[in-house]
Every structure is written in C-alpha cells, then in structure tokens.
C-alpha cells in the first residue's frame, strides 16, 4: 500500500512584488494511514509537510 504526499519548496528565496515583502514557505497538515507498533493496529495520524509559498510582510 502506498500513500502520496504533495509538498513544495521556495527555490532561491523567491520574490514578491511590493516593499517589505518576502516569499515564505507555508506548511499544511496531512493525514496518513500508519501502523502503530504499540497497539498493533492501523490508525490515521497527522503529519506536517511543506505545502506552498506565499508573500508575507517582513
């Protein structure tokens, strides 16, 4: 069984138009189906992944 996760990266720091703005990497939470070795059961757990780049004020 395979699960796909989409992630992103801001290459070279990124550029944004306007004064005092910079490109920043934003994260998202994604649910993955995992095996719990303690309980010997499958369950869903949340994981944080890089998701997108946005322009933010410095």
Q: Is the distance from CB of 10 to CB of 51 less than 8 angstroms?
A: no
**Mean pLDDT of the 33-54 span:** 91
Distance CA 53, CA 26 (A): 6
Q: Is the distance from CB of 26 to CB of 49 less than 8 angstroms?
A: no
Per residue in 44-55, pLDDT tens? 999 999 888 888
DSSP character at residue 11: G
Is the pTM for the entire model greater than 0.75? no
Q: In the beta sheet, which residues pair with residue 29?
A: 48
């Amino acid at each position: 069984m395979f699960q796909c996760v989409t992630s992103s990266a801001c290459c070279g720091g990124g550029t944004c138009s306007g004064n005092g703005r910079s490109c920043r990497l934003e994260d998202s939470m994604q649910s993955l189906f995992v095996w719990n070795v303690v309980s010997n059961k499958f369950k869903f757990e949340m994981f944080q992944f890089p998701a997108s780049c946005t322009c933010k004020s410095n």
